[in-house]
């Protein structure tokens, strides 16, 4: 009997080891360990054996059964793994096909993005952001900004007027908000004013609608040197930390002294010449690019808000205004101002 058990064990062991699929393995399990299997019969018939035989045969049969069970389990795991592998290998796709498209990715308009960038720089310098009306009173757009009626300086900006309201116009600059802000808040005041402005002009470098960013700082003891430092910080924030600014005296009716501000060219590093020896096209070989107008707020302007706490003998400060589109054009090589308002998605989608 013991020999038979050993035979069965050896035979089953070899068969299980050779099994090539889980189906075959299941067949072997039924054959060697199923209800009708010989070994099962042996175990079932132990009670019929002579008492001195029972222990030995029972022990050998149980040991064989446990060994075969363990073997079957190990083989099953082995076969499962290789069958899964085979199944996975068969289940292949062409990974070079394009992925399923998500909803299209949206894009922030370059004007909005540039506006935010400059706002953030100025917020970092302690400024607040103020917005204001685009349809304005002549008083705020001109008179209170030291452009008296009949003054030639008014002709610098060709103005859209509102029909049947000769004193109402589309603001030609964001500067009217200087006055509204000062009327509302006593000094010190540090604000930037982004927004749309309008001038009656249309070509590659002029659009009847465009965007400006105004800055206004009024407090005790602010100087032209402070203006230079503020503009340097702003320009470096926009165009990079290596930039320099250059202030050239100029004329604006609402600042005195007034300056035009150049930034050192970021394409040629201010040399006017590119690496290949060609003249820099961005600054036209000058090494400097005109970027904005600025100046010390004219005492006449403060005079219009004197009863809001702006005594020109006590407080003073500076203002500046730059064109958002001009900054974006320089930074990103946009050749024509009008492209910003075409809203051609092929352009919109170039700027994430």
Partner 1 sequence: MKVPYSWLREYCDPGVAPEELAERLVMTGTEVERVTIAGPPSAESFVVGKVLSAEQHPDADRLRVCAVDVGDGERTIVCGAPNVAAGQTVAVALPGARMPGGEKLRKAMLRGVASEGMILAADELEVGDDHDGILVLDEGLSAGAPLSEVLPLAEPVLEIEVTPNRVDCFGVHGVAREVHAISAAPLAADPWAQDAAAEGQGEVSDYASVTVEVPDLCPRFTARVFTEVEIGPSPIWLRARLAAAGQRPINNVVDITNYVMLLTAQPLHAFDLDKVPGGALTVRVAAEGEKMTTLDDVERTLDAETVLVCDGNGPSGIAGIMGGQVSEVSAETTRVLLEVANWNGTNILRTSRQLGLRSEASSRFEKQLHPVLCWRAQAIASRLMLEICGAKLVPGTIDVVGEIPEPRRIRLRAARVKGLLGMTVAQADQVSYLERLGFGVEVDGEDLEVEVPPDRHYDVTREVDLIEEVARVHGIDEHLPTTLPAVARTVGGGLTREQRLCRRAEDGLRDLGFDQAVGWSFTDPGEPGRLRIPDDDPRADPVLMSNPLSEDQSAMRTMVLGSLLDIASRNVARGVDRLALFEAGSVYLRGAPPADGPLAGAFRGKISAPATEPLRFAALALGPLAARSWRGDAEAVDFFALKGDLEALARQLGAEFAFAPAAEPFLHPGRAAAVSVGGEAAGWIGELHPLVCRAWDLDAAVAFEVDAAPLLAAASAGEETYEDVTTFPAAYQDLAVVLPTEVAATTVREAILAGGGELLRSADVFDLFEGAQLGEGRKSLALSLEFRAPDRTLTDAEVTGLRDAIKATLEKIGGTLRE
C-alpha to C-alpha distance for 351 and 109, rounded to whole angstroms? 7
Nearer to partner 1, 55 or 186 (CB): 186
CB of 64 to partner 1, least distance (A): 53
- Evaluated on CA atoms 275, 278, 280, 281, the torsion sign reads negative
Helix, strand or coil, per DSSP, at residue 68 = helix
Nearer to partner 1, 88 or 343 (CB): 343
The entry of Zn ion, partner 1, none near residue 333 (CB within 5 to 8 angstroms by kind) is none
* Cα-Cα end-to-end distance for the chain: 83
| Residues near Zn ion, by CB under 5 A | 265, 267-268, 280, 282-283
CB of 242 to Zn ion, least distance (A): 13
CB of 241 to partner 1, least distance (A): 14
CB of 270 to Zn ion, least distance (A): 7
The entry of partner 1, Zn ion, none near residue 237 (CB within 5 to 8 angstroms by kind) is none
**Distance (Å) of CA 288 to CA 15, 136, 278, 285:** 89, 35, 16, 8
Name which of 288, 290, 280, 230 is nearest 264 in CA terms: 288
Counting Cα atoms < 13 Å in the Cβ hemisphere of 126 gives 8
The entry of Zn ion, partner 1, none near residue 280 (CB within 5 to 8 angstroms by kind) is Zn ion
Nearer to partner 1, 184 or 281 (CB): 184
**Distance (Å) of CA 66 to CA 9, 63, 72, 73:** 10, 5, 10, 11
Helix, strand or coil, per DSSP, at residue 157 = coil
C-alpha to C-alpha distance for 217 and 195, rounded to whole angstroms? 18
CB of 273 to partner 1, least distance (A): 17
CB count in 10 Å sphere of residue 112: 14
The entry of partner 1, Zn ion, none near residue 205 (CB within 5 to 8 angstroms by kind) is none
CB of 8 to partner 1, least distance (A): 56
Nearer to partner 1, 5 or 193 (CB): 193
The entry of Zn ion, partner 1, none near residue 339 (CB within 5 to 8 angstroms by kind) is none
70 backbone dihedrals φ, ψ, rounded to 5°: -60, -40
Sorted by sequence, the CB contacts under 8 Å of residue 145 that are 6+ apart come out as 175, 176, 178, 179, 253, 254, 301
Sorted by sequence, the CB contacts under 8 Å of residue 281 that are 6+ apart come out as 267
CB of 330 to partner 1, least distance (A): 18
The entry of partner 1, Zn ion, none near residue 143 (CB within 5 to 8 angstroms by kind) is none
Q: Are 292 and 322 in contact (CB under 8 A)?
A: yes
The entry of Zn ion, partner 1, none near residue 168 (CB within 5 to 8 angstroms by kind) is partner 1
The entry of Zn ion, partner 1, none near residue 67 (CB within 5 to 8 angstroms by kind) is none
Nearer to partner 1, 33 or 112 (CB): 112
The entry of partner 1, Zn ion, none near residue 283 (CB within 5 to 8 angstroms by kind) is Zn ion
CB of 335 to partner 1, least distance (A): 18
Residue 162, by phi and psi: left (phi above 0), alpha (psi -120 to 50) or beta? beta
Nearer to Zn ion, 62 or 286 (CB): 286
CB of 261 to Zn ion, least distance (A): 16
């Amino acid at each position: 009997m013991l020999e038979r058990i050993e035979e069965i064990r050896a035979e089953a062991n070899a068969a299980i080891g050779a099994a090539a699929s889980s189906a075959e393995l299941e067949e072997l399990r039924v054959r060697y360990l199923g209800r009708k299997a010989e070994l099962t019969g042996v175990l079932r018939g132990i009670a019929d054996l002579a008492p001195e035989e029972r222990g030995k045969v029972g022990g050998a049969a149980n040991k064989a059964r446990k060994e075969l069970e363990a073997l079957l389990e190990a083989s099953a795991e082995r076969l499962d793994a290789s069958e899964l592998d085979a199944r996975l290998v068969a289940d292949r796709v062409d990974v070079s096909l394009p992925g399923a498209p998500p909803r299209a990715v949206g894009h922030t308009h370059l004007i909005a993005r540039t506006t935010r960038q400059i706002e953030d720089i100025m917020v970092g310098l302690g400024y607040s952001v103020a917005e204001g009306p685009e349809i304005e009173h002549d008083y705020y757009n001109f008179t209170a900004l030291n452009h008296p009626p009949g003054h030639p300086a008014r002709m610098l900006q060709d103005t859209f007027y509102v029909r049947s309201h000769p004193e109402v116009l589309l603001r030609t600059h964001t500067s009217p908000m200087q006055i509204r802000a000062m009327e509302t808040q006593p000094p010190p005041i540090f604000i930037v004013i982004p927004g749309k402005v309008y001038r009656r002009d249309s070509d590659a470098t002029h659009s009847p609608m465009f965007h400006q960013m105004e800055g206004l700082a009024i407090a005790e003891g602010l100087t032209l040197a402070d203006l230079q430092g503020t503009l340097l910080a702003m320009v470096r924030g926009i165009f990079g930390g290596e930039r320099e600014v250059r202030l050239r005296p100029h004329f604006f009716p609402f600042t005195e002294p007034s300056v035009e501000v150049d930034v050192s060219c970021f394409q040629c590093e201010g040399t006017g010449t590119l690496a290949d020896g060609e003249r820099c096209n961005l600054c036209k070989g000058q090494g400097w690019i005109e970027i904005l107008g600025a100046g010390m707020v004219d005492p006449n302007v403060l005079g219009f808000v004197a009863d809001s706490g702006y005594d020109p003998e006590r407080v003073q400060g500076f203002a500046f205004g730059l064109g958002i589109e001009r900054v974006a054009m320089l930074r990103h090589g946009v050749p024509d101002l009008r492209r910003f308002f075409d809203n051609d998605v092929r352009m919109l989608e170039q700027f994430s």
